[in-house]
Amino acid sequence: MFLENYYQEPEVLRINAEANHSYFIPFNKTDLFNIFKREESSFFTLLNGEWQFEFYPNVQDLPQNIEQIPFKHKISIPSNWQVFGFDSHQYTNINYPFPFDPPFVPLDTPCGVYQKFININLASNKHYLLNFEGVDSCLYLYVNNKFVGYGSISHCTNEFDITSYLINGENKLTIFVLKWSVGSYFEDQDKFRMSGIFRDVYLLEREENYIRDIEISTTLSTDLSQGDINIQLTFTKESQSINAFLFDPKGNLLAKQENCLQENICFNEIKLTQDQLWSAENPALYCLHLESKEERIIQYIGFRRIEIKNAVLMLNNQSLKFKGVNRHDSDPETGYAISITQALRDLELMKQHNINAIRTAHYPNSPWFSELCDHYGFYLISESDIECHGAAMQAVIMPEPSIFLNVENQNEDQRIRQATIDHFCYFAREPIYQTQLLERTKANIERDKNRTSILIWSLGNESGYGENFETCAKWVKQRDPKRLVHYESSIYQHSEHKNDTNNLDLYSEMYSDTDVIDAYFSNEEQVKKPFLLCEYSHAMGNSNGDMEDYFQIFNKYMGCCGGFIWEWCDHAQYIQANKLGYGGDFGEKLHDGNFCVDGLVSPQRKPHSNLLEVKNVNRPVRAKLEKGQIFIHNYFDFTNLKDAVEIQYELVANMCVIEQGVFIVDCPAHRSTILPISIPKEYKELLWLNLTYISIKKQPLLPEKHIFGFDQIILSENYTTENRDKNIFSEKLIIMENKKNFIIQNQNCYYELNKLTGVIDQIKVKGKNIIHQPLEWNIWRAPTDNDRLTRNQWQSVGYDQAYSRVYSINFREEKNDIIFFVKSSIVAAGKSKIMDLDVEYHLSAEGKITIKANAYVGQYLPYLPRFGLRFYLDKGQEFEYLGYGENESYIDKHHSAKLGKYIVSAELNHIDYLKPQENGSHFNCHYIRNNIINITSSKPFSFNLSPYTQEELTTKNHNYELVRSDYDILCIDYKMSGIGSNSCGPNLKTKYRLAEKHIKFNLDLVFLI
């Protein structure tokens, strides 16, 4: 079988395919219309389902003709053939999975061949259009053994008029799909690399002279009180008579034009009210019916205006903030093949967690996806199917050792950086690749140009910048001047080219720290473009500790229009039942490990604590205490609080509700008001105000009485530890010693203090072992994904191998008690001393231990992961704690948690990240206790209760590899360093690091048995 070499010709993207046009499905005028059930159209035949399939690991092994292909297998489409065991999964982030030799790809690239027989009763004067909405990476189409055409651009529609190839009755469709093609150089997105027909395949039956393209544009008056709709039709032949009907958002017929023979139809001076304008908060849509001789085409349109005024992004005359996410098509069972049901589940979760915008990273989604966003209210950045990130990896110049040694050598460093940028810009500048970039841009825009939810066209992602992208930006601006144009990589300047960014409307960066945004707006009068973070707060593992800081900076400047978190869902594929894998788990040599497991939700769409943090940070209402009054601010962009939210409040004193009620307040968007709550002026104990923001009316994708978020205002945190019933052991403690330990005991208590380590080895009360291994001074945590860079520093100084050693131990007896004074340090083999420790252990005859520690950390050491004590306790215990819960919480990641009383066990507290890491800690706790032990400190502390040791979590690569400890592991920490998002983002902010050089820490352990 000979396939023409189109797949290696950079300027050939399609052969015999139909020209790009807007997406719509024609219905028969007698059909019942449902926009999301297009298969109910009489003119639409869905060809999904079972196809015959044959896989060739090497395209060169194809037989001489189609008839010789055995088709021994069956495969369901849409799908990726790797999901069915053909070929294998591979995950890479930046590197191309094949040699970099553009435009060539390996001659032995794999090939999948699909075949299906379909019966067609051919009608005269009809056209039959075969549509492929997504095929990776390219396809060759044969009908009845005759070559029809070639198509590429994996995430865009390829449509073929196959009328002349069909016969009445049974017809054979054969599709050859190649794994790699020249297009693969432009589809180097950060994802699993999968192949095949992964989106719907269908046949459309059209009239002889049919509407080929529809372009709908809206115009709004300055005051938004009226609007015009302009419809431009393109026919395959001459114009034909069209009836046009326009219905308002409530379904009432607003206007009609019958027997229109012109290609342009207008509905002018439509009167509008505020609730008839489209936004994510109010996705009001007008319905347009276009009827020809046989067909009815229905399109939904919203009135909205997106523009930039004085470097501020504006929608319908209001400044706009994107609370966005980047979203891939990804599922552990179906790969790239995502159904409307699956997508709707994503949108439902996003809406419920205060996400209002999506960047289609980094390719157009299925055409119905933007229709969903129109209806349910999401702002879209629709991105062209372009990423050439791997070109940057071709700068094979190694830096000099001086850079590794952190010795300044700025000239060399800059030379290497510039060489990398120059390679990065290769495809952006080479003239032979302009067609690839421009056709991909056109395919994105022409298909989805009628979708209201799309506010911004993005030229692509991480592909450098140069003349080719400048051509694309200019074309987009001319083709669609009413939308904005985005492209982040325009910040990269080739050494031989001066970037022209005049046709780009936004200044965009990725993963920049808040300091960068402050610097951008340091002279706001000179700012010419809004600032956008198209990727930020990398959600890999236990992450998103910087959300509140980003929220504050976004709202500090009008010209900062928000950002899009990377990313929505973890990418993972099943290795076997109940076992998910990431890069390297499928036998591939070139991979990027678990860098794809970086979402706000799990592969199965279970929300991570990251998403809960995002939800409450992005709550549309916020409260603050100022001068004894509670001020409420409305962060909605268009909605008055009285129309959307009731505010439930509770005033809580010492964990008892002393006052509660409900308010509905009149507060327009972007404004503040005072909540009429009387706050006690003085209160000497624990007092807080809980405010919960609850939806008033039912909204699409939201449950009734949906909780938008909450505020907890701590008015007083003077908590007094309760007196707990306990045995009073009056018998004097006596002390003995051997070579290893001091032994301290009375009739009810038994302690051992280790002479070598300076820690308590054993605690028994009334014969019961309280701890099952010695206490440990603890500075290590199982690295989070955000610690992946800092981890090297920590391990280089031995934090992961640290243990304590003694210099001296003294004691004195005080009445019935004994007090030990231990001078020790924390050290690691082959490393300098980490810290000196002066510890006082007050062992009480009454069943209490008080520990006071002074730690002096080495001057030049990196900040500590944590500092505290580790306890090995009986399995299966439950504890009560007063602290931030019930979600995991950290110094920088606690905005989805509340101060309160909670019950916790090791099993319930553990969070099952796919790659094991630190999880389940609780910030700002006053006590943790059960019927055996009560632990308190003079200052709030952090704790973690886990069924796994930190060593187990550190060394295992997958959650299913974890082996449960024989004990429950309780870590009580003076502090734990924050979480941040440094897996791909800024370093953890100094204010969230445990960088103190002198630490004072005390604990009281009271035994209650």
Residue 363: strand, helix, or coil: coil
Write down the H helix ranges in 539-647.
547-554, 609-617
- Pull the structure tokens for residue 889: 């919480």
Tokens of 555: 């709202």
How many Cα atoms occupy the beta-carbon half-sphere of 456 within 13 Å?
A: 33
Model confidence pLDDT, tens digit, residues 413-422: 788 889 999 9
Confidence of residue 402 (pLDDT cuts 50, 70, 90): very low
Angle formed by the axes of helices 367-376 and 340-352, to 10°? 40
Give how far Cα 916 sits from Cα of 520, 758, 869, 942, Å: 38, 31, 21, 20
**Ordered DSSP codes for 163-195:** GGG--SEEEEEEEEEES--GGGGGB--SEE---
pLDDT at site 727: 55
Q: What are the tens digits of pLDDT across the range 601-646?
A: 999 999 999 999 999 999 999 999 999 999 999 999 999 999 999 9
Q: Across the chain, how many H-helices and E-strands are there? A: 13, 60
- Residues 902 and 920: beta-carbon distance below 8 Å: no
Single-letter amino acid code for the residue at 112: G
Q: Is the pLDDT of residue 407 over 50?
A: no
Q: Which residue has the higher pLDDT, 725 or 595?
A: 595
* Per-residue pLDDT, 410: 55
Q: Is the peptide bond before 886 cis (omega within 30 degrees of 0)?
A: yes
Give pLDDT tens digits for 895-923.
999 999 999 999 999 999 999 999 999 99
Conformation bin of residue 670: beta by default, left when phi > 0, alpha when psi is -120 to 50: left
The closest of 324, 320, 282, 323 to 302, measured between CA atoms, is 282
The average pLDDT across 36-50 equals 97
Please determine, for residue 411, whether its predicted confidence score (pLDDT) is greater than 70.
no
pLDDT at 979 over 80: yes
Integer-rounded Cα Rg, in Å, for the chain is 32
Q: What is the C-alpha to C-alpha distance for residues 15 and 657, in angstroms, rounded to an integer? A: 72
Span 397-402, average pLDDT: 47
C-alpha to C-alpha distance for 687 and 650, rounded to whole angstroms: 11
Query: Among 710, 717, 722, 709, which Cα is nearest to 652's?
Result: 717
Tokens 């004195």 sit at which residue?
812
- 387 as an active site residue: the answer is no
Q: Name, in order, each residue with C-beta under 8 angstroms of 500's C-beta and a sequence gap of 6 or more.
A: 470
**Summary mean pLDDT of the chain:** 96
What is the model's pLDDT at position 956?
98
What distance in Å separates the CA atoms of residue 848 and residue 441, rounded to the nearest whole number?
A: 71
The predicted structure's pLDDT at residue 404: 39
* Three-state secondary-structure class, residue 306: strand
Query: Which of 159, 371, 535, 846 does the annotation list as catalytic?
Result: 535
DSSP-assigned letters across all residues of 651-664? EEETTEEEEEEEE-
Query: What is the per-residue pLDDT across 453-474, written as a single tens digit (0 to 9) for each?
Result: 999 999 999 999 999 999 999 9
**Which phi and psi (to 5°) does residue 120 adopt?**
-130, 125
The predicted structure's pLDDT at residue 1009: 87
Question: What's the pLDDT tens digit per position in 557-584?
Answer: 999 999 999 999 999 999 988 899 999 9
pLDDT in tens, 664-714: 999 999 999 999 999 888 888 899 999 999 999 989 999 999 999 999 999
- What is the SS3 assignment for 334? coil
Kindly state the percentage of the chain with pLDDT values over 70: 97
Residue type, 775: L
pTM of the predicted model, to two decimals? Answer: 0.96
- Rounded to an integer, the average pLDDT of 985-997 is 98
**Percentage of the chain exceeding pLDDT 90:** 93
Residue whose structure tokens are 């209806």 = 375
Which member of 187, 387, 462, 952 is catalytic? 462
Q: How far apart are CA 807 and CA 823, in angstroms?
A: 5
Confidence of residue 401 (pLDDT cuts 50, 70, 90): very low
Q: Residue 2: its pLDDT value, please?
A: 84
Nearest to 853 by CA among 832, 822, 828: 822
**Does the annotation mark 263 as catalytic?**
no
- Residue 295's H or E segment, with its range, is strand 295-301
What is the predicted pLDDT for the residue at 394?
86
pLDDT of residue 682: 80
Span 185-206, average pLDDT: 99
Predicted confidence at residue 399, as pLDDT, reads 45
User: Per the omega criterion (within 30 degrees of 0), is the bond before 78 cis?
Assistant: yes
pLDDT band at 825 (very low <50, low <70, confident <90, very high): very high
Query: φ and ψ at 182, to 5 degrees?
Result: -60, -30
pLDDT in tens, 934-976: 999 999 999 999 999 999 999 999 999 999 999 999 999 999 9
Average pLDDT on 767-793 reads: 97
Tokens read off for 975: 């502090």
The answer on pLDDT for 398 being more than 80 is no
Which pair of structure tokens corresponds to residue 414? 């800059």
What's the confidence (pLDDT) of residue 396? 55
* pLDDT level of residue 718 (50, 70, 90 thresholds): confident
Closest CA to 818 of 759, 882, 742: 742
Contact 261, 235 (CB under 8 A): no
Q: CA-CA distance, 352 to 690, in Å (whole number)? A: 20
Is pLDDT at 150 greater than 60 in this prediction? Answer: yes
Section 494-509 average pLDDT: 98
